[in-house]
Structure 1
Amino acid sequence: MRGDVLVVHETEKPPESWAAAVLLTEHPDPSADAPPWQEEAIRLLRDRWAGPGRLVVFAGGRRGFPSAAPEHAEGWASDWRGTALAHSDVVICRSPGGGCPAGVAGWGAGHDSGRIVLRVPARPAAGERPEPGGPEVADAVTAALAHLGTGAERTGVQRQVPLPIWRTDSFQRWYGAQRAAGNTLLAARPVWSLRIGADRRLVFYWALHAVVHVTAEDRVKDNEVVISRPDIATAVLYVPGATIDDTEIVLVREFRTAASTPDGFVHELPGGSSMRTTDPRSLVACEVREETGLHLDPGRFRAHGSRQLTAPMSAHHAHLFSAEITPEELEVIRGLADVPQGVAAESERTWPEIATFRRIRTERLVDWATLGLIVQALTDRGHPLP
């Protein structure tokens, strides 16, 4: 069953829940009344919306479309357009040249926040009246509906989380953990997101300024952002030595932009993430093959559980595995030390390295989180600490 389409105009308060929301706006000067192109967009959205939940359309003016109750909620009276932007999943903006720059009031908040921004050019011929709709509007509506899909039901403050972020496993893990702890999300403002893929639909990193009521302490925490990304699967590949310090461990050297190390590279365990749904054991076997050149059957990896890597900084988890490899397999990796590995199409270039645990400790080769991963894996295997 198709859900309804509800148009919310200025001075009107939107409903408390919906599956998707679209903002129709203009640059540089929004019209006092809904312009013809918005009427056409609304008609197309009504005709084409196929999701089972409600689609809300924020539009300018006070034309006589069926709309929400006229009373105001906090923010809607003082800054209707800004609040509508903060509650939208997709923004369709029409302007001369099709540009809606960050300088537009409130626009910077939506430009890289995880919301989908679609630009509709308005270029009427000299002396001619612009068409009410035209192919550009129809194309924008088609693209908007493709991004929205069937939407996702959200209520209250959840409406402030754009669909591209809401749909990520990383957001749902964080939000689920907070709710399980008895905490309440009071406000959510997307700060930025890093989207990848040919059409930039996939959210890789996201940052959310969250206001949370901490139930255990009965206080509100409002001065931090939540950052997250897809979980990673990582592996400690090792050949046991006479002592844990003599154990040889496989690392990969890779340039990562955030590195602040003496050589400008990070030295880390082989591992990574995927935007596709896959089990961590299969993922870690794939990552080991890509980053070290060594092919191991997934059944050889022992699981050590998952934890956050840097809990004050990022909500994502690392799924830790280990595999004891043979001296012959270690030599295969050693022979690839000067051969770049990784996925070149994703700008990934890794160089396999081998180091003893003693060298890793004393030469400070890895960061604290990686050192902890290695210690966990080796001690779980029965190797006593030095």
Structure 2
Amino acid sequence: MDDGVILVHAREEPPDRWDAAVFLAGPTPRTPGVASWRPDAHAELRARWRGGGRLVVFDPEHREDRYDDYDGQVEWEERCLHLADEVVFWVPRDLATMPAFTTNVEWGMWHDSGRVVFGAPPEAPKNGYLLHYADKSAVPTAAGLPETVAAALRRIGAGASRASGEREVPLLLWRDAAFQRWYAGQRDAGNVLLGARVVFRFGVCWGLHVRVRVTAEDRVKDNEIVIGRPDISAVVLYRPGATLDATQVVLVREFRSAGADGDVHELPGGSGPGGPAEVALAEVAEETGLVLEPARLRGHRSRQVNATLSAHRAHLFSAEVTAAELERIRGSGPHGVAAAGERTYVVVAPFGRIRREGLVDAANLGMIAEVLLETR
């Protein structure tokens, strides 16, 4: 197949590569003499596609107007909905000829996926509930089919070339820096992505169920998910003591929903705009009130924080603080960005107490130990 717009009708096999894919969701005429809206959508997509590569259009209407395998049709639609970068919902509902009952279910499944657009003629009945959730989920909406198609193509842009298992990673995640970093590592190891399915998206976090050929072991691994989020910067602020255990370390106490009792103690840190060192300085100021000059910051290694579950890394930094600085911030708070639900309190503790009392989790303990061992 050449590049351009490629139509894939119901029960047909998708091509082996593309730059973008859309699914045309909405009511299908079941009454003779009632025209389908999808040929007009095909024409709009052909006229408006400027990506330069291959745009695949999944059309759930059969090329020969034959619907003789209900289960097969449902399975094909589910598969291709997951393959789509954008699902174009056009709902010209007519309660007599195109009631769109199945469309209601599909909309409920996909409205908050981050990859749908919704359109309907103003006179189409019973779309108020769907439009309510479009607004709630910040879904682009339009009152005309051309505008609905245009909204989907704006989000797709030029797309991105993907083949084989890569096709199952929608542009929404394909363009994510955390995904690309994880995928680059897999490719460098010689592994092959055979398939993927988005499990969840929440804020900047996502979960992807992946199917990977582990080349070195000649086997396929398909029973795990990869969780992605932006990398973090973490900073060990310390005041040397007579011994390693006597070294004072600055922690922040903060309520975290996943904590065993809510409150957790952790290193100042987080994610945000800018490079890792810039983020580190900003997070220290936000969470402790201590403003450091960049020259005081020392860089250490970057590592994954929980390699069995999450692809993100912690960029580790440290800074030795003065006795006066330590006393100024000790017990202070609340700090943090209130608008983001952040409220932190400074706790200063010797490393020995941190170890013995289990004040921090294993990842934070390891980062503290790495810094203190390297700086002694």
What TM-score do the two structures reach when normalised by structure 1? 0.81
C-alpha displacement at 1:162, in angstroms?
0.8
Residue 216 of structure 1 aligns to a residue whose secondary structure is helix
- Indicate the residue corresponding to 1:252 in structure 2: 252
Q: Which residue identity lines up with residue 297 of structure 2 in the other structure?
A: F
- Indicate the residue corresponding to 1:300 in structure 2: 296
1:351 is the counterpart of 2:342: no
Separation in structure 2 between the aligned mates of residue 103 and residue 241 of structure 1, nearest angstrom: 65
Separation in structure 2 between the aligned mates of residue 106 and residue 141 of structure 1, nearest angstrom: 17
| Structure 1 residues 333 and 119: CA distance shift in structure 2, 3 A | same
C-alpha displacement at 1:143, in angstroms?
2.4
C-alpha displacement at 1:116, in angstroms?
0.7
Instruction: Give per-residue Cα distances to partners, 1:324-377, cap 9 Å, x unaligned.
Output: 11122222322xx34322122222222222111122112211111110010001
- Indicate the residue corresponding to 1:319 in structure 2: 315
Q: Which residue identity lines up with residue 170 of structure 1 in the other structure?
A: A
| Structure 1 residues 187 and 357: CA distance shift in structure 2, 3 A | same
C-alpha displacement at 1:230, in angstroms?
1.0
Separation in structure 2 between the aligned mates of residue 101 and residue 359 of structure 1, nearest angstrom: 60
Which of residues 262, 265, 268 is equivalent to 1:267?
A: 265
- Indicate the residue corresponding to 2:166 in structure 1: 158
Q: Which residue identity lines up with residue 115 of structure 2 in the other structure?
A: I
1:183 is the counterpart of 2:196: no
C-alpha displacement at 1:105, in angstroms?
6.2
C-alpha displacement at 1:142, in angstroms?
3.0
Separation in structure 2 between the aligned mates of residue 241 and residue 194 of structure 1, nearest angstrom: 42
Q: What is the percent sequence identity of the aligned residues? A: 48
C-alpha displacement at 1:115, in angstroms?
4.9
1:226 is the counterpart of 2:234: no
After the TM superposition, which of the residue ranges 116-125 and 317-326 deviates more from structure 2? 116-125
- Indicate the residue corresponding to 2:363 in structure 1: 369
Q: Which residue identity lines up with residue 271 of structure 2 in the other structure?
A: S
Q: Indicate conservation of the 8 Å contact 1:91/1:118, yes or no.
A: yes
- Indicate the residue corresponding to 2:79 in structure 1: 83
C-alpha displacement at 1:122, in angstroms?
5.2
CA RMSD in angstroms, aligned pairs only: 2.9
Separation in structure 2 between the aligned mates of residue 86 and residue 48 of structure 1, nearest angstrom: 23
What TM-score do the two structures reach when normalised by structure 2? 0.83
Separation in structure 2 between the aligned mates of residue 227 and residue 146 of structure 1, nearest angstrom: 27
Q: How does 1:1-386 map to 2 (within 5 A)?
A: 4-26=4-26, 30-31=28-29, 36-62=36-62, 79-95=75-91, 96=93, 104=105, 108=109, 110=110, 115-121=114-120, 124=123, 135-195=143-203, 204-261=204-261, 264-274=262-272, 276=273, 278-334=274-330, 337-382=331-376
Instruction: Give per-residue Cα distances to partners, 1:65-99, cap 9 Å, x unaligned.
Output: xxxxxxxxxx9888321221121011122345999
Q: Which residue identity lines up with residue 89 of structure 2 in the other structure?
A: C
Q: Which residue identity lines up with residue 164 of structure 2 in the other structure?
A: G
Q: Which residue identity lines up with residue 143 of structure 1 in the other structure?
A: A
| Structure 1 residues 125 and 31: CA distance shift in structure 2, 3 A | closer
| Structure 1 residues 364 and 138: CA distance shift in structure 2, 3 A | same
Instruction: Give per-residue Cα distances to partners, 1:116-168, cap 9 Å, x unaligned.
Output: 12222355368xxxxxxx83433422321232122111111101001111111
Separation in structure 1 between the aligned mates of residue 155 and residue 15 of structure 2, nearest angstrom: 22
Q: Indicate conservation of the 8 Å contact 2:166/2:194, yes or no.
A: no
Unpaired runs of 5+ in structure 1? 65-74, 127-133, 196-203
Separation in structure 2 between the aligned mates of residue 300 and residue 94 of structure 1, nearest angstrom: 57
Q: Which residue identity lines up with residue 336 of structure 2 in the other structure?
A: G
Separation in structure 1 between the aligned mates of residue 263 and residue 375 of structure 2, nearest angstrom: 29
Separation in structure 1 between the aligned mates of residue 61 and residue 100 of structure 2, nearest angstrom: 22
Indicate the structure with greater helix content. Answer: 2
Q: Which residue identity lines up with residue 169 of structure 1 in the other structure?
A: A
